[in-house]
């Protein structure tokens, strides 16, 4: 029937008006249930899903409690436990940023050698599209999405180009904004650290075992170079040699002279034969 939709819409509006009227008679209306009072009529409202009556809120005095996964402009994490920036200036976030609104300046030491930290880090908030790619790709959990959305300024440049000081927040701030994600990350980091510690222990144990095996092999080698006979055997051998020497001495000691005389005679004989052959060759040639 013509006008049914219009009547339905007006019905919904009427229902909300009546619910609000009824709700406002309570000491704490539905929309303020569980809200956080900030004073000066300011409050953060945790709007319940089953709220009846008025759904609008009186911004900016009243603000809605943002869901954890709300994201606006990135923030850089200062690790309060380690007292250092988590960012290592690897540049991955700047590479993956679709509108290219991240600019990183890597720090260097007094010799000009590049270091694993930033000297500055800029994000153009007017260009950032809150896609969170930089967060997804950062390997060091160094960049996260902030919930702060009230960034209005009179001049876009340079007010909306945030530098490192403006972007950096302590780890506790991030933990308060993203409690679930923070807990998951902490659990993962602990697990990774535990694994790393175990790997290092295993590596150290293997190195110690290798060193022990090497020294054992060296000891075995030096033991191999040493005489393999026992002390008793060596003693017996020494006795045997002493007995041999005594027996030679008992033979009269002239045997050595006899051998030398025989050798001399053999040499003389060879010399004589060589002279004879030389004479024969001379005779043949008729000289």
Q: Which stretch, 27-35, 82-90, 153-161, 231-239, contacts ligand SF4 (CB under 6 A)?
A: 82-90
Q: How far is the CB of 77 from ligand SF4 (least distance, A)?
A: 9
Q: Which stretch, 29-37, 91-99, 148-156, 226-234, contacts ligand SF4 (CB under 6 A)?
A: 91-99
Q: Which stretch, 99-107, 151-159, 220-228, 238-246, contacts ligand SF4 (CB under 6 A)?
A: 99-107
Q: Which stretch, 13-21, 126-134, 167-175, 259-267, contacts ligand SF4 (CB under 6 A)?
A: 126-134
What is each CA distance from 159 to 75, 122, 125, 147, 150, in whole angstroms?
16, 12, 9, 18, 13
Select from 157, 92, 173 the least CA-distant residue to 125.
157
In sign, the C-alpha dihedral spanning 107, 108, 114, 117 is negative
Beta-carbon neighbour count of residue 231 at 10 Å? Answer: 8
45 vs 97, beta carbon nearer ligand SF4:
97
Grouping H, G, I as helix, E, B as strand and the rest as coil, residue 276 is: helix
Is-contact 131 96, C-beta < 8 A?
A: no
Is-contact 170 78, C-beta < 8 A?
A: yes
**74 contacts ligand SF4 (rule: CB under 6 A):** yes
Residues 129-158 that bind ligand SF4 (CB under 6 A): 129-134, 138, 140, 142-143
**89 contacts ligand SF4 (rule: CB under 6 A):** yes
- Rounded CA separation 76/113 (Å): 24
**104 contacts ligand SF4 (rule: CB under 6 A):** yes
What is each CA distance from 102 to 83, 99, 155, 157, 162, in whole angstroms?
24, 9, 19, 15, 10
98 vs 114, beta carbon nearer ligand SF4:
98
11 vs 114, beta carbon nearer ligand SF4:
114
**128 contacts ligand SF4 (rule: CB under 6 A):** yes
Q: How far is the CB of 160 from ligand SF4 (least distance, A)?
A: 12
53 vs 74, beta carbon nearer ligand SF4:
74
- Rounded CA separation 40/47 (Å): 20
- Rounded CA separation 167/124 (Å): 11
**171 contacts ligand SF4 (rule: CB under 6 A):** no
Select from 205, 223, 210, 75 the least CA-distant residue to 148.
75
**77 contacts ligand SF4 (rule: CB under 6 A):** no
Pick the binder of ligand SF4 from 30, 43, 45, 93 (CB under 6 A): 93
HSE-CB of 245 using CA atoms within 13 angstroms: 6
What is each CA distance from 56 to 29, 36, 52, 59, 255, in whole angstroms?
13, 17, 11, 9, 132
Q: How far is the CB of 99 from ligand SF4 (least distance, A)?
A: 5
Q: How far is the CB of 5 from ligand SF4 (least distance, A)?
A: 41
Q: How far is the CB of 78 from ligand SF4 (least distance, A)?
A: 12
**101 contacts ligand SF4 (rule: CB under 6 A):** yes
Site for ligand SF4, rule CB under 6 A: 74, 87-93, 97-99, 101-102, 104, 123, 128-134, 138, 140, 142-143
């Amino acid at each position: 029937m013509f006008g049914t939709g219009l009547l339905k819409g007006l019905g919904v509006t009427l229902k909300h008006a009546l619910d609000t009227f009824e709700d406002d008679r309570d000491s704490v209306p539905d929309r303020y249930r569980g809200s956080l009072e900030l004073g000066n009529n300011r409050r953060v409202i945790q709007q319940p899903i089953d709220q009846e009556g008025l759904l609008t809120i009186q911004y900016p005095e009243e603000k809605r409690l943002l869901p954890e996964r709300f994201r606006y402009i990135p923030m850089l994490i200062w690790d309060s436990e380690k007292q250092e920036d988590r960012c290592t200036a690897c540049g991955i976030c700047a590479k993956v940023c679709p509108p290219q609104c991240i600019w990183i300046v890597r720090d260097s030491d007094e010799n000009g050698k590049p270091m694993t930290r930033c000297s500055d880090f800029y994000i153009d908030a007017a260009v950032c599209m809150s896609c969170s790619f930089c967060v997804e790709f950062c390997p060091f959990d160094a960049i996260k999405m902030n919930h702060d959305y009230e960034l209005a300024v009179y001049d876009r440049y340079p007010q909306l180009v945030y530098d490192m000081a403006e972007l950096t927040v302590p780890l506790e701030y991030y933990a308060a904004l993203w409690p679930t994600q923070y807990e998951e990350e902490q659990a993962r980091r602990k697990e990774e650290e535990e694994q790393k510690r175990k790997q290092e222990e295993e590596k150290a144990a293997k190195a110690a075992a290798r060193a022990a095996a090497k020294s054992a092999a060296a000891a075995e080698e030096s033991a191999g170079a040493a005489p393999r006979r026992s002390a008793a055997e060596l003693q017996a051998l020494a006795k045997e040699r002493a007995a041999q020497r005594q027996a030679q001495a008992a033979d009269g000691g002239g045997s050595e002279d006899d051998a030398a005389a025989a050798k001399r005679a053999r040499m003389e004989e060879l010399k004589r034969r060589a002279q004879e052959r030389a004479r024969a060759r001379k005779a043949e040639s008729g000289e």
